[in-house]
Amino acid sequence: MPASEEQQVIKQYQPLIRALIPYEQDNRLLEGLNKFTGRVSASIRKTIKEEVIRLTSLTDAPADNSSFAQFPVFKFSHFGIEMRLDKVGARILQKESELYRERYTVGVFESITNSDFYKDHLKKENHKKIVDAFTIESQTLDDINFGDALAITPHFPVSSLEFEKGRSCTVSSFASNSMSLESKRPPKVSSKEVFSFHLPEVPGIPKEQTVRYMVSAIKFNKHTEKYETHFRLHPSTEPKILAALKKYVNMASFQQPLQRELESERAMQDLERDRILDNSPWVPVFLQVNKQGVTPLSVLFTAANEQFSGGIPATQDLTRPKFIKRIMAEMARYSESFVITGLIQTKQGEVRIAATIRELESAGIIAQVIHLLNANNSMYCAHCRLQPVGNVDKQKAFAIHDIVSNENEQLMQISHVMFYRNATESLTGLALSQRLPMPAIPDEFLQDTAKAKISLLFDEQLNRRAETRYLLEKEGAIKTGLLKSQQVFVKDISPTGMCIELPEPLSSAEKELKVSVPEFKLKSQRYRVVGVSPCKKVIRLKLPAKRDTVSAGISQFVNKNISYFKSRDLTVIQRRNHRFAWELAVRHHPSASILCINNRYLINRLKTLYQTSECSDLYPFSVIENVVPMHGFFADKNADKPKSRLLSEMFEGKVTSSNVVHCVRKTDSKLVYLPEQEYFFGALRKQVHNHLTENKIELCVTRVDVTRCQNHETAMSKKRLAQLSRIDKPMYDRFSVMQTSYSHVLYLTSESALHSAVMRAKLRPVKAKAEQKQAAATA
């Protein structure tokens, strides 16, 4: 074989040659060759064998890398050979010597005197520094499982005739198999001494229960400045009592504070999950799914998601009875759905369309529909994801907020939560690559006119009610003619307004109605119509100005019957329903989310990543245990040091969203990064399209959105910190101050399915004319 061909073979099979070196060190080179070179020709096999033998042969050549060293060179003697190496060369010497079993061979000599090998070593070291710099910890959205360490701080004391002269002692920690009691002075007890304690009558513990405990330790608590006597449950305790205590601790763990250290961990997780939901662009819609179909029950709005999502109109479009069944069927199969709604101008007139991306693609009209909707500026694209809600999560929400499940059937009916976000920007500005005929739009893609009845949940800061309303079940009447009246049902009432329900819709639109409610001594009282439901059966009314006597009379009637109306206060009911829905939503948030804090160093601002266990938004990167490498999303490519232009622009407010694009080659799973501008507007887009249609690659597009934390507190902050304040005031103060350190939340969402469909449809983005002029002026 010619020398040039030998060098080419050595270069091609370099990884194999290095893998065979340990076999040669153990005198097992033939075994290694048979294992790795089964399909290699005899000539190539011979070249590989000779190269391995050459590299492992001993040498006494002095090593010198001073010609390309980037650090000061120093002289030293190693293996009895003179060396002139810098600190990087010395590290290479050590690493290569280990490969050759601490022997100075030709391979070691060539490695430390090879400029390309030196540069590759530096490149790998720099890459490792970048990966380590952008690595953050990951946490699941599930509640922390404390296991056998679960202990609560109950509100009851216990007593024993033999312990502390029968005085009642405060319980600082109560677990299923242990207990700690507080005292100002150390009690006079010995280790393993047994006491019988009387437990109080609390829900979950049998009445007049006496349990035997054994002393395990006495410690001084610096935080409370009190002595704590630790007890273990006596081994002779009956299994029935042990099961009852375990059940009580598990039940009370969501209603009472946990042990000091455990409560701080739980409070931290709760506060961080609340912040993610409070700033999230995702809107949670709570559904009841059963054999009869899909019933939208309620939707939870925050200041952030109402602003980003399109508000109530977007929710109404997604929850139309016929359309939501199709969306649910698609999400059940693919776990997500991209929904398109909007107005198309046709020869027959305007047509409102509502379909998913996959439906349009299967019908072969995805390109035409997106083009026409963009031309009409009426497109709305919603990215929907579905999460099932288990009974365990509902029971936790009931327990945390002291809600009686039997009295709240609607909350018990929740079986799924559908999150949606506004993804219209990903489809805006797309144009056809070629002229396509527009076929007839299938009837099932036309928007349904019916609207679902859905309850709106807002936090108290977004409450749009000017006064308290009370639920009612009273009969009334409205005047429809000179001597005619129609019976109505009064649903709720306030001092200056009410909501009535009619058995049949009014035949004509009325601006005013005369209402009579005998219970409130209202007779033909004029009310202005301020709102009518889509079915035109539910009407909201308001008193005209200068009707103070009527409103005062209603207020007086309410005050006289305050015990009846207290449980029917809509503000209290809405707050309870809002908190319940919030607890479900924080445990099922659909996308990966990164909490960011204030820090002088840019990269150190990334604090913690939260995601569900089945979340795939970080693909093509993976989570190793609880460590997440984020360099593929944020690190500047080809940079020598850890830098991030994207993070810098996001934190400065210059950029609110960005797309991070990768391709995974299916033959060898090689990952290729695609710059955003080249992917959208460069010649690279055509190559990606060709490879995608030939099924050679997998397109991975991750949308990164940033939200600036506007408020230091969330809707649940005070309630979360209230329990912590009862057991540890200094930690409560520290956590309260800590809330001001959160600055932004980053949301990472995979839009790979959407971009793949757009790419297959041969739609191309078009830069705005203003951007084109600016680019030309810059050039």
Count the neighbouring beta carbons within 10 Å of the beta carbon of residue 282: 27
CB-based contacts of 161, cutoff 8 Å, min separation 6: 196
Query: Dmax over Cα atoms in the chain, in whole Å?
Result: 120
Separation of alpha carbons 500 and 515, rounded Å = 10
Give me the DSSP letters along 569-636.
BHHHHHHHHHHHHHHHHHTS--SEEEEEE--SSSGGGEEEEEE-TT--TTTTS--BTTEEE-HHHHSP
pLDDT tens string 509-544: 778 888 888 877 788 888 888 888 767 778 888 888
pLDDT tens string 649-707: 999 999 999 999 999 999 888 899 999 999 999 889 999 999 999 999 999 999 999 99
pLDDT tens string 125-168: 888 999 999 999 999 999 998 988 899 998 888 888 888 888 88
Supply 533's token pair.
Answer: 């439901």
If you search the block for the tokens 């601002």, which residue do you land on? Answer: 605
Nearest to 419, CA basis, from 275, 555, 616, 589: 589
Could you give the 3-state DSSP secondary structure of residue 261? helix
Question: In the CATH hierarchy, which top-level class contains the domain 151-252?
Answer: mainly beta
In the predicted model, is pLDDT for residue 375 greater than 60? yes
Q: What is the pLDDT of residue 349?
A: 77
Enter the pTM of the model.
0.84
Confidence of residue 465 (pLDDT cuts 50, 70, 90): low
In the predicted model, is pLDDT for residue 773 greater than 50? no
Alpha helices in 59-176 (DSSP H): 87-99, 106-112, 115-133
Q: What is the pLDDT of residue 769?
A: 44
pLDDT tens string 603-641: 999 999 999 988 899 999 988 888 999 999 999 988 888
In degrees and rounded to multiples of 5, residue 448 shows phi and psi of -70, 140
Separation of alpha carbons 419 and 225, rounded Å = 48
Task: Give kind and range of the element (H or E) at residue 370.
Answer: helix 366-376
Confidence of residue 776 (pLDDT cuts 50, 70, 90): very low
Q: Is CATH 3.40.430.10 correct for 469-568?
A: no
Supply 759's token pair.
Answer: 């790419």
Q: What is the pLDDT of residue 770?
A: 39
Domain parsing of the chain, residue ranges: 3-135, 151-252, 281-455, 469-568, 592-778
Q: What is the pLDDT of residue 1?
A: 63
pLDDT tens string 384-434: 999 999 999 999 999 998 888 888 888 999 999 999 999 999 999 888 888
Residues 602/644, Cβ–Cβ less than 8 Å: yes
Could you give the 3-state DSSP secondary structure of residue 692? helix
